[in-house]
Structures are given as C-alpha cells and as structure tokens.
C-alpha cells in the first residue's frame, strides 16, 4: 500500500504518512480504510459544511490493476450535510488510478481555502491553484478549462463541483470525467471549503504482489463473468436493464412512493434506451462496459447527450414524477450533471414539491407562478435548474426533503421521502423486506447500494420470498457486511453483489494483489462486519441510535394501494429487532456492544463509546 496525503486548505500545509500495516490487515483499503482514517481524525458534532469537516479520498488494493470489475473504483468518506452521519460516496473514474499512480492510496482534505482554489497533485507534488476564474462554471466547462487550458494536459483526471456545489445545495455532486461522487452532498462539502476542483496526474507503476497468480485468477474471473446472464444484460442495457423488472415486481416508486407500479413505464425502459445508445464504455480493463452514452437525436432536446441515464435517473426524473418523456429525462440528467446535483435526491425533492403542490401546501405564490403538475417535463427541467442555482422555490428544495419539509411543516414531513435525510432511491422498502431493512439501518441513510437485497429483487444468488419477514435481519446483515468488504477492495457492485462470479475468486484475487492472506470468504465477511460496526460507531458518537433507524410514515401507515405488491407495508419494529439481534447489538437501543466490538478487534472504539456513555453494555 502507498501513502496517505494530507492537505489542509486553510494553511495550505501538505504532509504525508504511511499506512500502518495492521490497518491494512483489518480494513483492506477503499471504504474500510477510508472509514477508519476518518473515524480517527474527526471530532463528533461538527457541522459538515464547516472547515472542521474532513474528506478522505481513497482507492482500493485493486485500483489500476488488470482485474475485471474493480480497476477504477474509488471512494470518499466524510460527514454528510444531508444526513449529519458518516458517509461514503463512491465513484468510478480514472482519478483513483491517477491518485494511486501519483503514489497515494488515501488523501485527506480538510480546512477551508480563503478563496476559490483547485488542488493539483502530480506524482507526489501538490499545487494549490487559484480557481476564481472557474467559480460559477458548470462541471463540463470547469473540467475542460482545467485540463486543456490551465494544466494543459488532457490526461489529467479531474473532480470538480458545479454551481450547485458552490451554492451549497445539500445534495451537490462532484463530477469526475463523466461520472460522479453522486450521493450525500460531496459537492456541497467541497463548495463549503472553496474547493472547486481536484486534479491528479501520476505515472508511477502500481506494484502487484503475485502477478502470475493474479493473471490466472483473472482468467477464471473472466470465464465466470462471460457465462453470467447478468453480464450480458449489463453489457447491453447498463443499469437500465432492471427498469422493467423492478416495475414488474411492484417495487418501482411512482408519484412520490404512493404507488409501486408505473403504468406508463415501457416508454422509459431499457430497451427504449438502447436504441439511443451510441457507445458502450466502462472502466479500463473491464469487459462489462456498462456505461451507455445516450443522446437525443431529434425534437426539442436534440443534441443532449449523457453517460447514462442510469436506472436511478430514469426513475427519478421519469417514473417517480409520472414523466414518460425519455428525451426530457436525458436532458434533465445533462443539466444535473452540468450544474452538479444528485439526480436521485433532486428527483425526490421535485416529487415532494409536486405532492405538496397537489395538497395545496405549496401554491403558485411559492413557485413564481409555476404549476407543479405531475409529469410536466418543462416544470421538471425548470426545477432542476432552480434547485441547482437556488433560485426561488429551488432554494428550499436545495436543502433536501428533510429540511425542506421541516421548514414547510403542515404535515409535509409525512411525504418527505428520505431516511436520515438522504432521499430514497428507486426501490420501495415495503415489498422487499431485507432490501428495505438495508436502507433503514444503513449508516449513510436512504441508500440502496449499501445493503442491496439481491436475493429478493433478482433471486440472486438464490431466490428469497421478498414479502416474508423470516430471516430478513440476518440476510440484511450478511448483505451489508458483504458489500462493505466489497467496497474495501473496491469491487464493482453489480457483478459481486449478484454473484455473477464466485466470491472465492474475488478473495483470492485480493490476496494475490496484496500478498496478504485475508482469510478467504469468512475473513472477508469479518472485515465487512468490522467496517460496518466502525461506521456505526461513528454515527453513535454523533448521537444516532434506534430511534433514527426509521423511515417515512407513508411506508408504515399506507399499504401499497395496487399492483403486484398491493397491501404491503413495512413492518419496522419486528424487522429492526431481528436486525439488531443478528448484529449482536443491543436491541433496545440499537447500539453496538463491547462484546461485539472486541470480537471485531475494535476495543478502542468500545472504550471511546463507553466514555461517551454510548455503550449499552
């Protein structure tokens, strides 16, 4: 493993340190080590948009290696301005590879620059640049100018914020080439730090502990992937492949999660999209090529193009809002990427506003005269712009549905669709109990990606009855631990969570790459559990407990009115009880115990929580 680079924007101090080997053995890399580094350096209780917040950028042990489904993943851990919890955002772009080639596995960014700044890292040298002229620019322009005209090297990899990040939109993104640090407001944190951009260039070689063995294992990995049905679907459609399926099983949130089946969905589905796709692309070395460059050929949105839309955006600017116009979804996605806002959160905020308007809680007085009607594509696009620029009603919606509903009041909290402040993604928790429980108990709030219930949604690797409560606590714990381990490595989420290839080939690859025996699948799950507990402890330290593991009243009170999942509600309390039990935590408070923490070699964490009065026993 390489080094940790620490950059303080306030005093422009730069330092380096080595990764302790015991940390690597316990947390591997990626999300795990980034969570550990963050846990160690962060004080609880700080404002995520203050200079005291810190971001830990990190790569995994496979970053930049000739491995399938892993080579370009990287993560940022921090405290989110949407949730006030621990957060991890992940991205696939060559920035991770560049960071590693520049000699770093992790980079801590802290403090606040006096004026708009960019940070450029080239092979161990750090430069602070004046970004005043870039302030106000969209992400595409900022990246272009930075690469071509400021740094004059198009091979530099960049991560930039747009106008939304500058304006502290709480779900602002960081744009990295055509991909994003999408969720949790990473862009707002950079904006609050006056950090317009990070740019990295490195050309050092990346060492491999056991190159021959790695090659052999990757050959096996390729064989397995090539045989998987999921690989083919993903190659053809990208994540949009699941659009029809999620609707068919009645798990597709429609009209702000009132229904779970979108009658008009075929206009938006993946096969419609593939006809507009001009190019498959993906991480370097990966055979799957799940990125779909899509464009609008004719009509009022002609000329719009995007690396996407992903399934979530199809939904958040499409079905969620009763908008079947795919062209407008693409155009909305273009704007969101240019301005730098998370399409999931933005869509859910728009859905919230539309429901509030329907109920008379918002009126044309609040909206500069705009009628917020379901399915009105022009209104959707205008709201994306207004949110990004915090213009008019957009200023309220830029806070996210949690704060917006608290400000708005009048019962709007009941249909503010978030968990711990993070807007919910394109899955209704009611018909998928483990998948839903994964979101409820997620340490980063309403994310589907952190404990995905593939067994319920796809029947992978084995089908589990999605309506049943039986064993769902343990299943969720397993999924969460497995994905936590996966994001340390950093494996791509799609093939690994659905087991398009066997887990043991994955653990062996990590061993071959690092020269460390992490203990096979059992070791992997233990590492995942350790990470999960550490992340949980971060939140406990911030004051989170069982009371916060909840979800919008709609899911608890309103049975799904119709469709394939009619009648389902989310059985919160019994599922939570199951979950804490399976975690080995205190069921009453939902807090980790000393026994569990010590079992996971986290005695220091237990000691700290005890001191804070947050250890149940």
Binding site for a second copy (CB under 8 A): 133-134, 136-138, 140-141, 145, 147-150, 154-155, 163, 278-279, 281, 293, 295, 297-298, 300, 302-303, 305, 335, 338-339, 385, 388-389, 391
The distance of closest approach from Cβ of residue 237 to a second copy in the complex, given in angstroms and rounded to an integer, is 16
Nearer to a second copy, 34 or 145 (CB): 145
Least CB distance to a second copy at residue 543 (A): 39
From the CB of 22, what's the least distance to a second copy, in Å?
Answer: 39
**Contact partners, residue 298, CB within 8 Å, separation at least 6:** none
Q: Which is nearer to a second copy, 38 or 381 (CB)?
A: 381
Name which of 281 and 587 has its Cβ closer to a second copy: 281
Cβ-contact 3, 17 below 8 angstroms: yes
CA 340 to chain centre: 14
Burial (CB count within 10 angstroms: exposed 0-12, middle 13-18, buried 19+), residue 78:
buried
* Smallest gap from residue 286 Cβ to a second copy (A): 13
Name the residue among 245, 229, 161, 149 with its Cα closest to residue 196.
161
Nearest to 117 by CA among 97, 133, 101: 133
Residue 146, SS3 per DSSP:
helix
Closest C-alpha among 83, 22, 19 to residue 56: 19
Sign of the Cα torsion 141, 143, 149, 154 reads negative
Distance CA 297, CA 303 (A): 6
User: In a 10 Å sphere around its CB, with 0-12 CB exposed, 13-18 middle and 19+ buried, how is residue 44 labelled?
Assistant: middle
- Tell me if 440 sits within 8 A of 476, measured CB to CB: no
In terms of CB distance, is 4 or 164 closer to a second copy?
Answer: 164
Residue that is written with structure tokens 């679907």 in the block: 233
For 2, what's the count of Cα atoms within 13 Å in the CB-facing half-sphere?
Answer: 29
- Decide whether 136 or 375 has the Cβ nearer to a second copy: 136
* Local structure of residue 413 (DSSP, 8 states): G
Least distance between a second copy and beta carbon 513 (Å)? 24
Closest contact distance (angstroms) between CB of 60 and a second copy is 23
Nearer to a second copy, 306 or 609 (CB): 306
Distance of CA 308 to the CA centre of its chain: 16
Q: Which residues pair with 92 in a beta bridge?
A: 73
Short-list 190, 48, 47, CA closest to 107: 190
Residue 282 C-beta: closest distance to a second copy, Å = 9
Smaller CB distance to a second copy: residue 385 or 433? 385
CB of 64 to a second copy, least distance (A): 16
Give CA–CA dist 162/346, Å, rounded. 15
With CA atoms as reference, report the closest residue to 597 among 539, 541, 536. Answer: 536
Select 116 or 436, whichever has its Cβ closest to a second copy.
116
| Smallest separation, CB 334 to a second copy (Å) | 9
**Nearest alpha carbon to residue 346 among 308, 392, 399:** 399
Q: CB-wise, 313 or 514, nearer to a second copy?
A: 313
Question: Would you say 62 or 335 has its CB closer to a second copy?
Answer: 335
Residue ranges with strand state E in 10-95? 13-18, 54-59, 73-79, 86-92
Q: Which residues lie below 8 Å from residue 418, measured CB to CB, with a gap of 6+?
A: 348, 400, 401, 402, 424, 445, 446, 552
Q: Which is nearer to a second copy, 85 or 158 (CB)?
A: 158
Supply the angle between the helices 433-440 and 572-583 in degrees, to the nearest 10.
Answer: 70
Our CB check for a second copy shows the closer of 158 and 345 to be: 158
CB of 523 to a second copy, least distance (A): 37
86-92 and 125-130 as β-strands: parallel, antiparallel, unpaired?
A: unpaired
Report, in Å, the least distance between residue 120 CB and a second copy: 16
Task: Provide the minimum distance between the beta carbon of 133 and a second copy in the complex, in angstroms, as a whole number.
Answer: 5
Comparison of 237 and 452: residue with beta carbon closer to a second copy: 237
**Residue 465, SS3 per DSSP:** coil
The enclosing H or E element of 483 equals helix 472-489
Nearer to a second copy by Cβ, of 275 and 611: the residue is 275
* Smallest gap from residue 359 Cβ to a second copy (A): 29
Kindly tell me which of 176 and 242 has the beta carbon lying closer to a second copy: 176
Kindly state the smallest distance separating residue 351's Cβ from a second copy, in Å: 23
Task: In angstroms, give the least distance from the CB of 335 to a second copy.
Answer: 7
Q: Which residues contact 317 (CB under 8 A, 6 or more apart)?
A: 309, 323, 328, 329, 332, 333, 336, 343, 346, 347, 350, 380, 384
Instruction: In whole angstroms, give the CA distance from residue 583 to residue 561.
Output: 33
CB atoms within 10 A of CB 562: 12
């Amino acid at each position: 493993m390489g080094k940790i680079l620490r950059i303080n924007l306030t005093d422009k101090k730069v330092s380096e340190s080595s990764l302790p080997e015991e940390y690597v053995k316990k947390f591997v890399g990626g999300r795990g080590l980034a969570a550990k580094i963050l846990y160690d350096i962060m004080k609880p209780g700080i404002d995520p948009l203050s200079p005291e917040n810190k971001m830990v950028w990190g790569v995994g042990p496979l970053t930049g290696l000739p491995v399938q489904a892993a080579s370009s993943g990287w993560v940022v851990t921090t405290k989110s301005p949407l949730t006030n919890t621990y957060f991890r955002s992940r991205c696939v772009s060559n920035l991770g590879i560049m960071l590693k080639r520049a000699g770093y596995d992790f980079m801590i960014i802290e403090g606040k620059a006096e004026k708009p700044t960019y940070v450029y890292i080239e092979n161990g040298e750090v430069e602070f640049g004046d970004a005043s002229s870039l302030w106000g620019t969209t992400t595409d322009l900022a990246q272009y100018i930075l690469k071509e005209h400021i740094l004059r090297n198009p091979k530099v990899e960049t991560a930039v914020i747009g106008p939304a990040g500058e304006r502290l939109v709480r779900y602002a993104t960081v744009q990295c080439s055509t991909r994003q640090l999408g969720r949790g407001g990473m862009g707002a944190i950079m904006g609050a730090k006056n950090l317009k951009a990070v740019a990295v260039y490195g050309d050092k070689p990346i060492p491999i502990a056991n190159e021959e063995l790695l090659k052999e294992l990757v050959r096996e990995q390729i064989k397995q992937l090539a045989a998987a049905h999921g690989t083919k679907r993903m190659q053809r459609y990208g994540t949009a492949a699941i659009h029809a399926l999620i609707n068919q099983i009645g798990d597709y949130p429609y009209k702000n999660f009132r229904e779970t089946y979108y009658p008009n969905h075929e206009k938006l589905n993946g096969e419609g999209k593939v006809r507009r796709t001009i190019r498959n692309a993906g991480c370097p070395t990966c055979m799957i090529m799940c990125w779909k460059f899509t464009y609008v050929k004719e009509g009022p949105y002609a000329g719009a193009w995007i690396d996407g839309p992903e399934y979530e955006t199809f939904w958040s600017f499409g079905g969620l809002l009763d908008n079947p116009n795919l062209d407008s979804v693409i155009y909305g996605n273009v704007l969101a990427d240019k301005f730098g806002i998370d399409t999931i959160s933005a869509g859910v905020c728009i859905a919230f506003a539309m429901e509030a308007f329907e109920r008379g809680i918002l009126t044309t007085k609040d909206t500069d005269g705009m009628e917020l009607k379901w399915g009105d594509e022009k209104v959707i696009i205008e709201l994306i712009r207004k949110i990004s620029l915090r213009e008019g009603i957009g200023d309220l919606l830029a806070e996210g549905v949690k704060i917006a509903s608290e400000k708005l009041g009048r019962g709007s909290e009941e249909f503010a669709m978030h968990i711990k402040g993070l807007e919910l993604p394109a899955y209704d928790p009611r018909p998928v109990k483990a998948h839903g429980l994964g979101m409820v108990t997620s340490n980063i709030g309403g994310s589907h990606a952190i404990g995905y219930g593939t067994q319920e949604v796809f029947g992978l690797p084995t089908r589990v009855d999605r309506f049943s409560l039986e064993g769902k606590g343990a299943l969720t714990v397993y999924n969460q631990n497995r994905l936590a381990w996966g994001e340390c490595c950093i494996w791509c989420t799609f093939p690994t969570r659905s087991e398009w290839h066997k887990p043991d080939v994955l653990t062996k690859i990590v061993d071959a790459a690092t020269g460390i025996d992490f203990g096979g699948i059992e070791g992997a799950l233990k590492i995942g559990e350790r990470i999960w507990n550490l992340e949980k402890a971060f939140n406990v330290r911030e004051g989170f407990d069982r009371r916060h593991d909840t979800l919008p009243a709609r899911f608890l009170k309103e049975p799904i009115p119709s469709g394939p999942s009619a009648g389902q509600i989310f059985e919160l309390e019994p599922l939570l009880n199951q979950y804490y039990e399976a975690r080995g935590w205190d069921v009453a408070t939902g807090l980790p115990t000393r026994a569990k923490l010590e079992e996971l070699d986290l005695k220091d964490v237990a000691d700290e929580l005890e001191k804070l009065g947050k250890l149940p026993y």
